[in-house]
Amino acid sequence: MRTINKFVKVKTLAEAYELNQKRSNVVLGGFMWLKMGNQAIQTAIDLSGLGLDQIEENDEGFQIGSMCTLRDLERHEGLDEYFQGAVREAVHHIVGVQFRNGATVGGSVFGRYGFSDVLTCLMALDCQVELYQRGIVPLKEFAQMKHDNDILMRVLIKKDGRKISYQSQRHAKTDFPVIAVAVARKENQFFVSVGARPMKAGVIEKSGWLPASSRSDREIEALADWAKDQFIYGSNMRATSEYREHLAYVYIKRGVKEVLGNDH
């Protein structure tokens, strides 16, 4: 059983950051994941009074406060429209509506979970995280960083005209994914991120492939084959590494076709 000695609803980010420097103190996201552990927390740091629960949209992009819930992401019309439903597709399988009313963007991104749909999807976008101490860091970099005592304030996504496709395969529909694949395209640049391998999502980038003149099935398959080889895969109770590797190939291929759309 997890215990919490003290609960502090902080007034400022500075206060939160300071408290978070102590090892036994912990920042609360939606508490969904934290709740299952059995660590003794000295001080639980609650960010919910800092106005970080907003999604702001402007011409440049989206700024998503870390305390926004996954349900907020799912229901945001601007995100849905700009990214062709991919963000919604990435989160709407996660457990259920009540769960997504609790789980936060901050917890999901900061946690950098291997199974994460959220991370997989965001990785294929031009996405950065805004940290209190370190400032703005590309998500790709953040994903590889060690867990430290910084505070995640916002997730920033640029509107750079990417088309994106998100797919996952699961046993039961609201289970963790067996594989999660996001493919994005900015003109002739392709971004492929694969998560739930079961290791956490990574992203690769490839430019110049598939020029408008040669987009046959064979070339798409070759791209998918190459892309899937850029990742390593593992086995767990949901699937073996061999199967995951195959699934990655299939979904990358389909994703590429989807983002090519009428250009294919």
Partner 1 sequence: MIIKLWINDQEITKEIDGDAILLDFLRDHDCYSVKRGCVTSNCGLCTVIIDDKPVLSCSTLVARADKKHIYTLEGLQEEAREFGECLADQGAEQCGFCSPGLVMTVLAMVKELKNPSDNEINEYLSGNLCRCSGYMGQLRGIKDYLQKKGGAGK
Partner 2 sequence: MRAVNQAVRKKDAMLLVTGQPVYTQDLAPKDCLIVKILRSPYAHALIKEINTEPATKLPGIECVLTYKDVPDQRFTLAGQTFPEPSPYDRLILDQRVRFVGDAVAIVAGENEQTVDKALKRIKVKYEVLEPLLDFRTARDHKVLIHPEANWKSLCDVGADNTRNLCASNEEKNGDVDEVLGSCEWVIEQTYHTKANQQTTMETFRSYTYRDQAGKLTCVTSTQIPFHVKRILSNALALPESEIRVVKPRIGGGFGAKQTAVTEMYPALVTQKTGKPALLVYSRRESLIASAPRHENEITVRIGADKNGIIRAIDMVTLSNTGAYGEHGPTTVGLSGHKSIPLYGKVEAFRFKYDVVYTNVMSSGAYRGYGATQGTFALESAVNELAEKMKLDPVRIREINMVKEGAVMPAYYGETLNSCALDRCMAKAKEMIGWQEKYPGIELNNGKVRSIGVAMAMQGSSIANVDTAAVFIKVNDQGHYDMKIGATDMGTGCDTILAQIAADCLNCSVEQISVSGVDTDVSPYDSGSYASSTTYLTGTAVVNTCETLVEMIRKKGADQMGCPIEDVEFDGDRVHRVSGNESITLRALANVQDQDADLSATESYCSPVSPPPFAVGMAEVEIDTETGAIDLIDYVAVLDCGTPINKSLVRVQAEGGIAQGIGMALYEDIVYSREGRNLSNSLMQYKIPTRLDVGRIRVDFASSYEPTGPFGAKSIGEVVINTPSPAIANAVYNGVHVHVRELPITAEKIYNGMKQHKNKSN
Ligand X SMILES: Cc1cc2nc3c(=O)[nH]c(=O)nc-3n(C[C@H](O)[C@H](O)[C@H](O)COP(=O)(O)OP(=O)(O)OC[C@H]3O[C@@H](n4cnc5c(N)ncnc54)[C@H](O)[C@@H]3O)c2cc1C
List interacting residues with ligand X (CB under 6 A).
26-34, 47, 66, 70, 94-95, 103-104, 106-108, 110-111, 113, 115-118, 151-152, 176-177
User: Contacting partner 1 (CB under 8 A), which of 97, 136, 145, 232?
Assistant: 97
Partners of 252 in the β-ladder: none
Nearest CA to 252 among 152, 160, 166, 156? 166
Task: Let me know: does 6 contact 42? Beta carbons within 8 Å.
Answer: yes
- The CA-atom distances, in angstroms, between 38 and each of 103, 146, 168 are 19, 21, 30
Contact between 214 and partner 2 by CB under 8 A: the answer reads: no
Contact between 237 and partner 2 by CB under 8 A: the answer reads: yes
91 vs 94: CA distance, rounded Å: 6
3-state SS class at 183: strand
153 vs 112: CA distance, rounded Å: 15
Closer by beta carbon to partner 1, 21 or else 101: 101
Task: Let me know: does 188 contact 207? Beta carbons within 8 Å.
Answer: yes
Site string for partner 1, 23-62 (x = CB under 8 A): -----x-xxx--xx----x--x-x-x--------------
Site residues (vs partner 1, CB under 8 A)? 2-7, 9, 28, 30-32, 35-36, 41, 44, 46, 48, 71, 92, 95-99, 101-102, 173-174
Site residues (vs partner 2, CB under 8 A)? 1, 3, 96, 169, 171-176, 178, 237, 239-240, 243, 246-247, 250
